[in-house]
Amino acid sequence: MAAPSNIRINPFIGDGGTTNYVDFTEVHIIPAVSPFVVRLNEVPQKKDPSNMKVVYVNETTGAPTTTALTEVAATPGAGEFRPDYSTNADGDEDWNTGLIEFSSADAGKIIQVSYTGMGTLAGVKNNRFPSWWLDRGDGSDGDFVPTGNTTISGLKQYRSVFIPAGVTVNINRFVKIKCQGAFINLGTITVNNRVTSGGGSDSAGQSGTCSVGGAGGSGYRGYGGAAGGALLGNLDISQDITYYGAAGGGGGQGGYIDEYGSYGGAGGAGGGSICILANSVCITGNISATGAAGASSSNATYRGGGGGGGGGGCIIVVANSIKNTGTLSVAGGAGGAGNQSGATGGAGILALKELGVM
């Protein structure tokens, strides 16, 4: 019988090697539905009873409490946990799953686990999913627990994330968050700097500039707005493909250009991008990657076309377990007012992928 492809083993067993034990602390969310199992990020040291310490985390502040759960050797009840409940997989006592079983009474609760590990992620990669779905980084950026409004962008590699209620995390165009433990958002995440907007028509009645995508602006008297383009781009080549909302087209110029020429409204900026790769995710707050509204025409009497709304951006969440009772939006922006209103930007990409316990 072949060994399970998704269970890890101590690589030092039988090789005469010396294990360099390392102490770890991780934050996880107990799944809301069965099986109520959490998988540790490292191979834990084999002991019976274990040296694990599991405490509840305050769900308002993100701070660990002093209320510890009790380790048991049988099926756990409320306030209890059982480590490595499927040890001896494949008939080999050296297999170590790194799994912890909890009671249904604790489903959805946030916990902090402290334990001694082998100091290696020695394991066979699960080949059921694309490799980037399982890439949760190296934790080099530590725990992210902002106490006030802040801005982040680019690649972030956290051990855990806890955004309290009332705190806003602004994303500068795009971010890819790799999180080894729990990602918890009780506050607001918003992409505040979007993709460049399309311009309005110039005084000669030509289409204004427009980056790829979004809704085209509305023209007037034959001067059409800039056309929309694709809803796929790459904001940073180092981060693989990053989807983002396209900018809206600029509105066409108004009529009677010799006397009353007026510019069409500028297209709205496209929504930015956020990608979250985590062990577990809980969202009760908001994540917004919306397109901006198109601008209105500048002349109230001889109006040009309104600018097209920016296309919605991208929100991607991939985790073993996802609990989402918040608001996630990738809506396109409204068209600007004019002799003819600009079109509303198209919706972006919203994808939540729950992998289950592996």
In the chain, the N- to C-terminal Cα span, in Å, equals 20
Average pLDDT value for the chain: 75
**Residue 350 pLDDT greater than 80, yes or no:** yes
* 64-68 β-sheet, strand order: 22-29, 110-117, 53-57, 64-68
Residue 36 DSSP SS3: coil
Per-residue pLDDT, 115: 86
Per-residue pLDDT, 48: 63
Provide the pLDDT confidence category of residue 59 given band limits of 50, 70 and 90: confident
**Residue 186 pLDDT greater than 90, yes or no:** yes
Q: Which of 276, 358, 260 is nearest to 324 (CA)?
A: 276
Residue 330 DSSP SS3: coil
Q: Which of 185, 2, 15, 180 is nearest to 98 (CA)?
A: 180
Rg of the chain (C-alpha set): 26
**Residue 306 pLDDT greater than 50, yes or no:** yes
pTM for this prediction = 0.74
Contacts of 190 (CB under 8 A, 6+ apart): 168, 169, 170, 171, 286, 287, 288, 289
- How far is 69 from 241, CA to CA, in rounded Å? 42
Which position has the higher pLDDT, 90 or 194?
A: 194
Provide the pLDDT confidence category of residue 191 given band limits of 50, 70 and 90: confident
Which position has the higher pLDDT, 252 or 129?
A: 129
Per-residue pLDDT, 78: 95
Per-residue pLDDT, 8: 42
Which position has the higher pLDDT, 42 or 252?
A: 42
Structure tokens at 182: 């729990």
Instruction: Average the pLDDT over each of 152-166, 180-194, 214-228, 242-256 and give the range with the smallest value.
Output: 214-228
- Tokens 């790459």 locate to 234
Q: Report the pLDDT averaged over residues 64-73.
A: 92
Per-residue pLDDT, 93: 58
Residue 220 DSSP SS3: strand
Helix (H) or strand (E) holding 51: none
